[in-house]
Amino acid sequence: MTGGKRRRAPPKAPEREYTPGQLLDWTDRSHWAWDPLPCRYCGQPTNLRDSKGAPAHKTCAEAALAQQAAEAADAYQNGQHP
């Protein structure tokens, strides 16, 4: 016996980085409002609200988060992180 620990293989990269509709969970009723307001991203009316109460479609919010994550990853890879 060597007493050494076995190393695990690195995790596999996901096939797709972003699948629309699966990033955020807005099933809680706090994400719904009776009065439709313009979405903060696309400007179309929506009854949905984000976690801070701002009007936003779920798909618009997910797309914005995916874009922010991609920009952060790109900046990190290019050495532009703080």
The per-residue pLDDT for 82 is: 59
The per-residue pLDDT for 47 is: 96
**Structural domain total, the chain:** 1
Measured CA to CA, the distance from residue 77 to residue 56 in angstroms comes to 30
Residue 73 domain-assigned? yes
Rounded CA Rg of the chain: 19
**pTM listed for this prediction:** 0.65
Residue 24 domain-assigned? no
Q: Which residue has the tokens 């920009």?
A: 71
Residue 6 domain-assigned? no
Residue 37 domain-assigned? yes
Instruction: Give just the sign of the alpha carbon dihedral 41, 47, 50, 52.
Output: positive
Residue 44 domain-assigned? yes
The per-residue pLDDT for 4 is: 65
The per-residue pLDDT for 26 is: 84
| pLDDT digit string, tens, across residues 7-66 | 776 666 655 555 656 678 888 899 999 999 999 999 999 999 998 999 999 999 989 988
Quote the domain boundaries for residue 49.
29-77
